[in-house]
Amino acid sequence: MSKLSKLAETLIGSEIVKLGNAISERIQKGEKIYNYTIGDFDPSIFPIPQLLEDYIIEEYKKGSTNYPAADGVVELRKAIAFYLKEWQGFECSTNEIQVASGGRPIIYAAFRAIVDVRDKVIYGVPSWNNNHYVHLTGGEHCLIDCKPENNFMPLVEDVQQHIKGATLICLCTPQNPTGTTLSKESLAKICDLIIEENNSRAENEKKLYLLYDQMYWTLTYGDIHHYNPVCLRPAMKDYTIFVGGISKSLSATGVRVGWGVGPTNVITKMKAILSHIGAWAPTAEQKATAKFLVDTAALKSFTATFITELEYRLQHIHKGFISLKEKGFAVDAIAPQAAIYLTIKIDLVGKKTADGNILQTQEDVTAYLLSEAKLAIVPFYCFGASKENPWYRLSIGTCKKEEIPAMFTMLANALSKLS
């Protein structure tokens, strides 16, 4: 076959989507699998709010099927500004908001607007897709290898090592894939580093920006809180691009309404980039979301019930892994903090199966879990971590509460067969 562009020849598709598709094919063929891979929701378990659905249908009946404004319908941008003020105490204007079909186009447009070839981009691993976005823009990867003892979040000193001359810092909290959060103290210190670095640069020199992905910010548990960098350090407003949307907060992954919020000069360029790509959210969905976001009572009611259901699953699965650990199996888990993910450790490399085969790699471990326990989870090496990393993302968006005990029975049996 003929050669394509250098980008096309070197680009790796989404490992998570590939794995999820393979699992879905097996399920469609009748195989029973506990599919905790893709960060999506089963609508039969986690439907979108009924009122939002009603609004969407209503908008289609009213004929809201034409092109939306390039930066998003004005009703939605006003609603987003209201929502952020109401829920986070963060103030922004409509010209600082860009609407798109989910968070991915916003992230891509932000990278394109800020990052030039060989520009330094700082991000921790594991993390969702930062490695691919850096590759897409030809940036220089400045990786921080995050550790379980720090909840897989980057430390201030890790950021400081790379900050000189950097163009972009990527933070996601609550984080995909770990379901952990960045503390108030760490976020404030990272903001101070960014402000100090920008103050040291000449007026005509490129600034350092923070890409702050808070797609999961409403989904926190217990005494965990989410923090806004601009609320902590107002000077960060000139340097922060937020990523948000309804995909995860309203169980609306397929509705495709996301947004970016940031400095007008950056948002204007992101709008221009997206105008050529056409990655707009549909008009009907935008107008429906606008109505729902300003209904604070409906939003709070849905969120409270949603969080209760998610936390039940995360806590019970976490308890199950800790129970297996206490029985001597080589597993572990980090207590759930936020989002729809549980970080679990399954350290079986070197173990021998019942038929005498050795699990030589983490890929072998993943395949064994799928084969023997019917458990499908995503290894952290799909999120930029090393191939030897024994930690996994377990997503509960398709988890049925009543199936959790059976899943652990299968897993315990599979682990017991190893020697």
| Residue-range domain boundaries for the chain | 6-46+300-416, 50-294
Whole-number Å distance between alpha carbons of 94 and 265 = 13
Segment 347-354 shows an average pLDDT of 96
Residue 19 or residue 418, greater confidence:
418
Strands 375-376 and 166-172, bridge-based pairing: unpaired
In terms of Cα–Cα distance, which of 22, 16, 57, 56 is closest to 40?
A: 16
Residue range 220-256, pLDDT digits in tens: 999 999 999 999 999 999 999 999 999 999 999 999 9
Give pLDDT, residue 21: 78
Torsion-angle region of residue 338: left (phi > 0), alpha (psi -120 to 50) or beta? beta
Contact 113, 270 (CB under 8 A): yes
Give pLDDT, residue 45: 98
Give the CA angle between residues 396, 221, 248 to the nearest 5°: 50
- Alpha helical stretches, state H, 121-210: 130-137, 156-162, 184-199
Torsion-angle region of residue 179: left (phi > 0), alpha (psi -120 to 50) or beta? left
Counting residues of the chain whose pLDDT is more than 70, the rounded percentage is 100
Residue range 122-137, pLDDT digits in tens: 999 999 999 999 999 9
Give pLDDT, residue 15: 76
Enter the CATH code of domain 50-294.
3.40.640.10
Assess whether pLDDT exceeds 80 at residue 395. yes
Give pLDDT, residue 1: 63
Confidence band for 393, pLDDT divided at 50, 70 and 90: very high
- pTM for this structure? 0.95
Assess whether pLDDT exceeds 80 at residue 2. no
Contact 120, 163 (CB under 8 A): no
**HSE-CB of 18 using CA atoms within 13 angstroms:** 6
Average predicted confidence (pLDDT) for the chain: 96
Assess whether pLDDT exceeds 90 at residue 73. yes
Whole-number Å distance between alpha carbons of 409 and 144 = 37
Torsion sign over Cα 76, 82, 86, 88: positive
Confidence band for 418, pLDDT divided at 50, 70 and 90: very high
Of the listed ranges 3-17, 44-58, 149-163, 180-194, the one predicted with least confidence: 3-17
Segment 9-20 shows an average pLDDT of 81
Would you say domain 6-46+300-416 falls under CATH 3.40.225.10? Answer: no
Whole-number Å distance between alpha carbons of 257 and 286 = 7
Whole-number Å distance between alpha carbons of 358 and 365 = 10
In terms of Cα–Cα distance, which of 333, 373, 375, 379 is closest to 353?
A: 373
